[in-house]
Structure 1
């Protein structure tokens, strides 16, 4: 089986040597690496080119301009030839046996569309900060969509055949791209979990998932969940406890939280917009809080 390691890079070339070494030192050597640079403004491309120049298994592509995470990861997957695919961030590394373990698991579990494992948190020098404690087997009858945070984690690998049955990665998404992808993949088969840390996740302040724009991350998670809910409802797939009533409360809470973050700002139109959306999503959910907030907003107290 050919394993396609997919790497979307933006301004992380200075970390790539560690990533590269972890790949070439794999115990399983039947792999290709698809690298797509998303219009980096640093010297990422020259660093990567120098490292991979003598290894034809590494293939580097470039976006002419910065297109975002969704577009770039979609391109990675489209360029892959492997039977098994897995994303690796250029500032992270994988354990020497990561590919071997995943390939073995996919051979054993033919019905698995996705197989996941745990990760270790490491510092910039790859010293372990916290051993893998996130990640778990999803209970029978449940799904990643409704099971809770941490069920699907890196290192994750999925069958290319299952991926091609989906809508593929949404090129418009800027964040929560993996979450959206895993929702789609689990609709195509079973999920299997390996109770082992195979991935070293580097705490990097430039990471998309580790920045100060938390409201943007919240938006894209909200977007992904809504898409998954609508898709599964249309396909008449079971969605655990995601009833219409549950979703109306979920949407109402999301919009209310956006309003709360803006409550004492001068963005009056935005405050009215999010509070109104919260009312519209579910008029009676937290009605007293929303009604008082509306009155205060009208009289200019907030």
Structure 2
């Protein structure tokens, strides 16, 4: 039976963890482990989480000795993962009870290196509102950068594929998942699961949303530029890719053509025809 590693990077989200925990112990697929790395939380997160998981050997918790950020912490999670398949779950979110079972089924059925599903947007109490509309079936090519966003959670991948990459960039504070997606996608085929398997909680975490969004936009642009360089792309849509990153606008302008209807239509046809 395939073992599944659920990876949780926590920072000050212990108060939401009970929902996350309940969704994990309810999974219909039983061979799983949970790796939690706490990024030196300043609240009582560790105390709460440890009290919840203390009698369950399937859960392991590790601690950063100082606050290192999301990229470093998610990279640490992978160091401890023993499963053939891995996926990240935020401690304030949750999974559908058949999420692991349905995801594993896709890996058994097809020769893929990753699978991703739709996600359900929820309010602060994790009450479902609507399915995130941005998730689409993608046409994977060296020119795909997930910009605009076409997939997010729930993203599961083979551990052996991750080990072929340079791993998550430990210096990233945001756009960490985007960095992971783009690196994994360079190594094989992926499967889109056309139903939500992930509950995504929308809530205010005390961070200025405008400041956070601007920082995420900047980080994502850097991730895209790094991806272009890694893939050896020197020109895109007849425009030169800059050797050195200067600003996010320069990167996003290179990808404006990917938002046009004709481009999206062509990719949709390619997906349909499997070419």
Q: TM-score, normalising length from structure 1? A: 0.77
Is the CA contact 1:144–1:186 (under 8 Å) kept in the aligned structure 2? no
Is the CA contact 1:154–1:199 (under 8 Å) kept in the aligned structure 2? yes
Deviation at 1:210, TM superposition (A): 5.3
Q: 2:236 aligns with which of 235, 242, 248?
A: 242
Is the CA contact 1:123–1:203 (under 8 Å) kept in the aligned structure 2? yes
* Cross-structure match for 1:191: 190
Instruction: Flag the structure with larger Rg.
Output: 1
- 1:158-207 C-alpha deviation (Å, 9 max, x unpaired): 00000000000111111000001110000111121000100010002128
Unaligned runs of 5+ in 2: 255-275
Q: 1:254 aligns with which of 248, 252, 263?
A: 248
> What is the Cα-based RMSD across aligned positions, in Å?
2.8
Deviation at 1:243, TM superposition (A): 4.9
Deviation at 1:124, TM superposition (A): 1.1
Deviation at 1:7, TM superposition (A): 0.1
Deviation at 1:144, TM superposition (A): 3.8
The aligned runs of 1:111-260 (5 Å cut-off) are: 112-139=112-139, 141=141, 144-145=144-145, 148-206=147-205, 212-233=211-232, 242-243=236-237, 245=239, 247-248=241-242, 254-255=248-249
* Cross-structure match for 1:7: 8
Going from structure 1 to structure 2, the CA distance change for 1:102 and 1:245 (only over 3 Å counts) comes to: same
Mapped to 1, the partners of 2:32 and 2:135 lie a distance apart of 25
Is the CA contact 2:71–2:176 (under 8 Å) kept in the aligned structure 1? yes
Mapped to 1, the partners of 2:159 and 2:166 lie a distance apart of 13
Mapped to 1, the partners of 2:140 and 2:215 lie a distance apart of 32
Going from structure 1 to structure 2, the CA distance change for 1:193 and 1:30 (only over 3 Å counts) comes to: same
Q: Give the aligned length.
A: 253
Mapped to 1, the partners of 2:89 and 2:132 lie a distance apart of 17
Is the CA contact 1:87–1:156 (under 8 Å) kept in the aligned structure 2? yes
- 1:234-262 C-alpha deviation (Å, 9 max, x unpaired): xxxxx6983561535xx7873579xxxxx
Is the CA contact 1:144–1:152 (under 8 Å) kept in the aligned structure 2? no
Deviation at 1:153, TM superposition (A): 1.5
Unaligned runs of 5+ in 1: 234-238, 258-277, 282-302
Is the CA contact 1:204–1:210 (under 8 Å) kept in the aligned structure 2? no
Going from structure 1 to structure 2, the CA distance change for 1:200 and 1:14 (only over 3 Å counts) comes to: same
Mapped to 2, the partners of 1:59 and 1:170 lie a distance apart of 23
Helix, strand or coil for the counterpart of 2:37? strand
Going from structure 1 to structure 2, the CA distance change for 1:256 and 1:183 (only over 3 Å counts) comes to: closer
* Cross-structure match for 1:67: 68
Going from structure 1 to structure 2, the CA distance change for 1:207 and 1:74 (only over 3 Å counts) comes to: farther
Is the CA contact 2:234–2:241 (under 8 Å) kept in the aligned structure 1? no
Is the CA contact 1:183–1:228 (under 8 Å) kept in the aligned structure 2? yes
